[in-house]
Every structure is written in structure tokens, then in C-alpha cells.
Amino acid sequence: MSEKRKIEKRYDAWSRWYDAVDTNPLFGGKAQERWRREAIGLLELKKGESVIDLGTGTGLILPWISESCKGAHVVGIDISGKMLLRARKKGCADLVRGDLDCMPFKDSSLDKAIATFTLTTAPDPVAFLKDTARVLKDDGILVILDTGKPKKKGARAVHALISKTAKLSGHTKIDRDPYALLGKVPEMKIEKEKRYYGGMVYAMKIRKFISLNPIITPK
């Protein structure tokens, strides 16, 4: 079974109780809501713009995106059909079932994108970032909210323990280096970064770079 199929089955199985766990105060639900809302704020969404929630799952943040800017066109994409059934009940976005490294959108067709706790679960994070860059318009914005290795030494031991648990329970790779991954997608440049939870959670505002001096290959 392919890794994508494993992820699809895993999230199909979790769909029934996903929101209940994700919003539970015992699992940091209140803090996660604050982080997600702040990440949405980094989009600086404007009326008439299109924004896609990458790996939308049950569509937890779709209502918050819609609230942040009335008149924006909100889209959610996910590989799990059962997750999308839950998202559809929220009724505030167009939903698409598909792979994040091969999205069914034209090149340069979307204004903005957001990925909350998606980069660490994507089977091929570089392919995911490259396809996101492909569908974004020039000067488009991607916001990533996720977990990663903290910069502070004191938090690294805690992160190492959580990382092992995450891999065993949900196959989530929270030790992925976002800087290294983004370095493989040269048109995407980090503009702003916030850190939470001892530095183990980060929010990044990333812009699709427009080259003003394109390289011309001699004939």
C-alpha cells in the first residue's frame, strides 16, 4: 500500500472524532485555535481573493478564514473523503478531494494558501511545496503553521520526546526542517515568522518571489 493510501485510510478512520480531539483543552485546543487564527491573519486576505486550505481535513479553520474576510473565495483540499464529508457540513467553502503534490488547479490560479499542521504529514513535503508554488499567482502568499525543531536548547529534549510519540501514533514527522525544505523551492521566500510553545510551533508567511531579472538562455 502506498504512503498516500495509508494516510487516506488513517484520516478516514480518525474523521469521526478528529475535531473533538483537536479542540479539546486537554490537548491544547485553545492555544491551537489562537495559533490558527493568527496564521489566518498573516494571509492578509482581501475581498475577491482566492485562498486554499491545504490539507483542510474536517474544515476546522474554514469558518475562521471566511470570517476573516467576507467576499473571499475559500477552497479546501484533502485526500480523505470522510474528512471532507465532515468539512462539507460547515458549508463555507468549495471542497476538492485530491493530492497536495498534484493539485487539480491551473498554474498561477490562486492568490493565497494556508497549511496548518500539514507539512509534517505530507508524504513528499518538497513536492507539496513545489505544487503549492505552482498554483499560487506571482506575489502570492503561503502561510504555514506547524511543529518543528525549536531554536532554544531547553526545549529540544521535550521536542525529541514528542517527535518519537508523534511518529508512532500518527506518523507525523515534526522534526522536519522547514528552512531546508523551502530551500528546495527557490521561488518561495520567508517574509515573517512567529514562534509558539517554547519555539516548537512556528507560523511562517512565505511569498512567491517574482524574478525581475529573468535568466535568458542564449540561443
Coil, strand, or helix at residue 27? helix
Q: What is the pLDDT of residues 84-109, one digit of tens each?
A: 999 999 999 999 999 999 999 999 99
Tell me if 96 is assigned to some domain: yes
Tell me if 213 is assigned to some domain: no
Residue 23, pLDDT above cutoff 80: no
Number of domains the chain is built from: 1
Tell me if 137 is assigned to some domain: yes
Q: Which residues pair with 53 in a beta bridge?
A: 76, 114
Q: What is the pLDDT of residues 27-47, one digit of tens each?
A: 567 899 999 999 999 999 999
**CATH number for the domain that contains residue 96:** 3.40.50.150
Coil, strand, or helix at residue 190? strand
Please tell me the distance from the alpha carbon of residue 88 to that of residue 94, in angstroms, as a whole number: 8
Q: Which phi and psi angles does 51 have, rounded to 5°?
A: -140, 140
Q: Please tell me the predicted confidence (pLDDT) of residue 217.
A: 44
Give the mean pLDDT of the chain: 86
Alpha helices in 29-69 (DSSP H): 29-42, 62-68
Residue 171, pLDDT above cutoff 60: no
Quick one: pLDDT band at residue 3, thresholds 50, 70, 90? confident
Quick one: pLDDT band at residue 161, thresholds 50, 70, 90? low
Tell me if 218 is assigned to some domain: no
Quick one: pLDDT band at residue 219, thresholds 50, 70, 90? very low
Tell me if 219 is assigned to some domain: no
Tell me if 24 is assigned to some domain: yes
Tell me if 214 is assigned to some domain: no
Mean local confidence (pLDDT), 186-192: 97
Tell me if 215 is assigned to some domain: no
**Domain range holding 25?**
3-208
Give me the DSSP letters along 74-116.
Answer: EEEEES-HHHHHHHHTT-SSEEEE--TTS-SS-TT-EEEEEEE
Window from 66-70, 103-107, 187-191, 195-199 with minimum mean pLDDT: 195-199
